[in-house]
Amino acid sequence: MSLLFVNACSRKDSQSERLARMWLEQRGYEGEVKELRLRDENVFPLDASDPNGIDDYAAAVASKDYSHPMFGYAQEFARADEVLIAAPFWNYGILAKLHAYLELVCSQGVTFDIDDNGAYVSLCHIERLTFVTTAGGAEVEALDDHAFGYVRTLATRFWHIPHIDCVAAWGLDGPNADVDVLLTPALG
Protein backbone atom coordinates (compact mmCIF):
# COMPACT_ATOMS: atom_id res chain seq x y z
CA MET A 1 0.00 0.00 0.00
CA SER A 2 1.18 3.50 -0.76
CA LEU A 3 -0.25 6.81 0.34
CA LEU A 4 0.47 10.03 -1.54
CA PHE A 5 0.31 12.98 0.89
CA VAL A 6 -0.24 16.12 -1.18
CA ASN A 7 0.70 18.86 1.25
CA ALA A 8 -0.76 22.02 -0.26
CA CYS A 9 -0.20 24.12 2.86
CA SER A 10 1.83 27.26 2.22
CA ARG A 11 2.54 28.29 5.79
CA LYS A 12 5.09 26.38 7.83
CA ASP A 13 2.78 26.60 10.89
CA SER A 14 -0.32 25.52 8.96
CA GLN A 15 -3.22 24.18 11.00
CA SER A 16 -4.34 22.16 7.96
CA GLU A 17 -0.97 20.44 7.83
CA ARG A 18 -1.13 19.84 11.57
CA LEU A 19 -4.58 18.26 11.24
CA ALA A 20 -3.38 16.08 8.35
CA ARG A 21 -0.44 14.82 10.42
CA MET A 22 -2.82 14.10 13.31
CA TRP A 23 -5.02 12.16 10.87
CA LEU A 24 -2.02 10.12 9.67
CA GLU A 25 -0.94 9.40 13.23
CA GLN A 26 -4.45 8.41 14.31
CA ARG A 27 -4.77 5.99 11.40
CA GLY A 28 -1.40 4.41 12.12
CA TYR A 29 -0.81 4.07 8.40
CA GLU A 30 1.69 1.27 7.88
CA GLY A 31 2.35 1.50 4.15
CA GLU A 32 4.71 3.79 2.28
CA VAL A 33 3.89 7.50 2.66
CA LYS A 34 5.21 9.82 -0.03
CA GLU A 35 4.85 13.49 0.89
CA LEU A 36 4.71 16.06 -1.88
CA ARG A 37 5.08 19.59 -0.49
CA LEU A 38 3.61 21.85 -3.15
CA ARG A 39 5.25 24.92 -1.58
CA ASP A 40 8.60 23.39 -2.61
CA GLU A 41 7.47 22.44 -6.12
CA ASN A 42 7.58 24.47 -9.31
CA VAL A 43 3.90 24.00 -10.14
CA PHE A 44 2.20 26.40 -12.54
CA PRO A 45 -1.05 26.24 -14.51
CA LEU A 46 -0.84 25.18 -18.14
CA ASP A 47 -0.53 28.36 -20.18
CA ALA A 48 -0.19 29.02 -23.90
CA SER A 49 2.75 31.38 -23.28
CA ASP A 50 4.72 28.73 -21.37
CA PRO A 51 7.20 26.73 -23.49
CA ASN A 52 5.92 23.59 -21.73
CA GLY A 53 2.34 24.76 -21.67
CA ILE A 54 -1.04 23.80 -22.98
CA ASP A 55 0.09 23.33 -26.60
CA ASP A 56 2.87 20.90 -25.61
CA TYR A 57 0.47 19.14 -23.25
CA ALA A 58 -2.17 18.73 -25.99
CA ALA A 59 0.43 17.46 -28.48
CA ALA A 60 1.80 14.93 -25.98
CA VAL A 61 -1.68 13.63 -25.15
CA ALA A 62 -2.56 13.39 -28.86
CA SER A 63 0.61 11.37 -29.56
CA LYS A 64 0.29 9.38 -26.28
CA ASP A 65 3.82 10.46 -25.30
CA TYR A 66 3.80 10.87 -21.52
CA SER A 67 7.58 11.06 -21.10
CA HIS A 68 7.63 14.84 -20.54
CA PRO A 69 8.21 15.86 -16.90
CA MET A 70 4.86 17.71 -16.86
CA PHE A 71 3.22 14.26 -16.57
CA GLY A 72 5.27 13.30 -13.50
CA TYR A 73 2.66 14.45 -10.98
CA ALA A 74 -0.08 12.54 -12.81
CA GLN A 75 2.04 9.37 -12.99
CA GLU A 76 2.83 9.56 -9.28
CA PHE A 77 -0.85 10.13 -8.47
CA ALA A 78 -2.00 7.22 -10.65
CA ARG A 79 0.37 4.82 -8.84
CA ALA A 80 -0.94 5.66 -5.34
CA ASP A 81 -3.30 3.37 -3.45
CA GLU A 82 -4.56 6.23 -1.29
CA VAL A 83 -4.32 10.03 -1.44
CA LEU A 84 -4.36 12.56 1.38
CA ILE A 85 -4.67 16.22 0.40
CA ALA A 86 -4.07 18.88 3.07
CA ALA A 87 -5.04 22.41 2.09
CA PRO A 88 -6.35 25.45 3.91
CA PHE A 89 -9.83 26.69 3.06
CA TRP A 90 -8.63 29.83 1.30
CA ASN A 91 -10.92 32.62 0.10
CA TYR A 92 -13.79 30.13 -0.16
CA GLY A 93 -11.76 27.72 -2.28
CA ILE A 94 -8.38 26.08 -2.65
CA LEU A 95 -4.99 27.69 -3.17
CA ALA A 96 -4.00 28.37 -6.79
CA LYS A 97 -0.97 26.08 -6.49
CA LEU A 98 -3.19 23.12 -5.54
CA HIS A 99 -5.50 23.94 -8.43
CA ALA A 100 -2.51 24.00 -10.82
CA TYR A 101 -1.28 20.68 -9.41
CA LEU A 102 -4.70 19.08 -9.90
CA GLU A 103 -4.77 20.47 -13.43
CA LEU A 104 -1.55 18.56 -14.15
CA VAL A 105 -2.85 15.43 -12.39
CA CYS A 106 -5.94 15.41 -14.62
CA SER A 107 -3.90 14.14 -17.54
CA GLN A 108 -5.77 12.19 -20.17
CA GLY A 109 -3.94 8.96 -20.85
CA VAL A 110 -2.29 8.94 -17.41
CA THR A 111 -4.96 9.28 -14.69
CA PHE A 112 -8.06 8.95 -16.88
CA ASP A 113 -9.07 8.32 -20.45
CA ILE A 114 -12.21 8.61 -22.54
CA ASP A 115 -13.88 5.50 -23.95
CA ASP A 116 -15.59 5.17 -27.34
CA ASN A 117 -18.87 6.36 -25.82
CA GLY A 118 -17.30 9.55 -24.43
CA ALA A 119 -17.34 8.35 -20.81
CA TYR A 120 -14.41 8.94 -18.45
CA VAL A 121 -12.46 5.82 -17.51
CA SER A 122 -10.12 5.90 -14.51
CA LEU A 123 -6.52 4.82 -14.98
CA CYS A 124 -5.89 5.10 -11.23
CA HIS A 125 -6.29 2.38 -8.62
CA ILE A 126 -6.82 4.76 -5.70
CA GLU A 127 -9.24 3.34 -3.14
CA ARG A 128 -9.55 6.37 -0.84
CA LEU A 129 -9.01 10.12 -1.08
CA THR A 130 -9.14 12.25 2.07
CA PHE A 131 -9.25 16.05 1.90
CA VAL A 132 -8.12 17.77 5.11
CA THR A 133 -8.78 21.47 5.58
CA THR A 134 -9.06 24.14 8.24
CA ALA A 135 -10.37 27.68 8.36
CA GLY A 136 -9.89 30.54 10.75
CA GLY A 137 -13.49 31.67 10.55
CA ALA A 138 -16.84 30.07 11.24
CA GLU A 139 -18.03 27.01 9.32
CA VAL A 140 -19.43 27.85 5.92
CA GLU A 141 -21.44 25.90 3.39
CA ALA A 142 -19.07 26.92 0.59
CA LEU A 143 -16.57 24.18 1.50
CA ASP A 144 -18.73 21.69 -0.32
CA ASP A 145 -19.25 23.98 -3.30
CA HIS A 146 -15.82 25.44 -3.88
CA ALA A 147 -13.05 23.49 -2.16
CA PHE A 148 -13.93 19.93 -1.18
CA GLY A 149 -16.70 19.90 -3.79
CA TYR A 150 -14.18 20.59 -6.56
CA VAL A 151 -11.79 17.86 -5.35
CA ARG A 152 -14.68 15.43 -4.87
CA THR A 153 -15.93 16.07 -8.41
CA LEU A 154 -12.50 15.31 -9.89
CA ALA A 155 -12.22 12.19 -7.72
CA THR A 156 -15.62 10.83 -8.74
CA ARG A 157 -15.81 11.89 -12.40
CA PHE A 158 -12.23 11.34 -13.60
CA TRP A 159 -10.71 8.80 -11.20
CA HIS A 160 -13.79 6.91 -9.88
CA ILE A 161 -12.38 6.80 -6.35
CA PRO A 162 -14.84 4.79 -4.23
CA HIS A 163 -14.14 6.38 -0.83
CA ILE A 164 -13.86 10.17 -0.55
CA ASP A 165 -13.77 11.91 2.82
CA CYS A 166 -13.43 15.43 4.14
CA VAL A 167 -11.86 16.22 7.51
CA ALA A 168 -12.41 19.86 8.47
CA ALA A 169 -11.97 22.14 11.47
CA TRP A 170 -13.29 25.71 11.79
CA GLY A 171 -13.01 28.82 13.93
CA LEU A 172 -9.28 28.44 14.57
CA ASP A 173 -8.50 32.17 14.45
CA GLY A 174 -11.11 33.31 16.98
CA PRO A 175 -9.86 35.46 19.88
CA ASN A 176 -10.37 32.68 22.44
CA ALA A 177 -9.91 29.70 20.12
CA ASP A 178 -8.36 26.62 21.70
CA VAL A 179 -6.93 25.07 18.53
CA ASP A 180 -6.29 21.66 20.14
CA VAL A 181 -9.91 21.47 21.26
CA LEU A 182 -11.14 22.50 17.81
CA LEU A 183 -8.89 20.17 15.79
CA THR A 184 -9.50 16.95 17.69
CA PRO A 185 -13.26 16.51 16.98
CA ALA A 186 -12.59 16.81 13.23
CA LEU A 187 -10.85 13.43 13.38
CA GLY A 188 -14.10 11.77 14.40
- Rounded Cα distance between 173 and 170, Å, is 8
Whole-angstrom Cα distance, residue 115 to residue 18? 40
Q: Using one digit for the tens of pLDDT, what is the confidence trace for 86-144? A: 999 888 889 999 999 999 999 999 999 999 999 999 999 999 999 999 887 776 665 56
| Percent share of the chain, pLDDT over 70 | 94
On whether the CB atoms of residues 37 and 14 are closer than 8 A, the answer is: no
pLDDT at 52: 65
More confident residue, 181 or 126: 126
Structural domain count of the chain: 1
The pLDDT confidence band at residue 184, using thresholds 50, 70 and 90, is confident
Spatial CA neighbour of 86 closest among 2, 172, 187, 15: 15
Q: Does 159 score more than 70 pLDDT?
A: yes
> Domain limits at 172?
2-187
What CATH number should be reported for the domain holding residue 137? 3.40.50.360
Name which of 46-55, 56-65, 68-77 the model is least confident about. Answer: 46-55
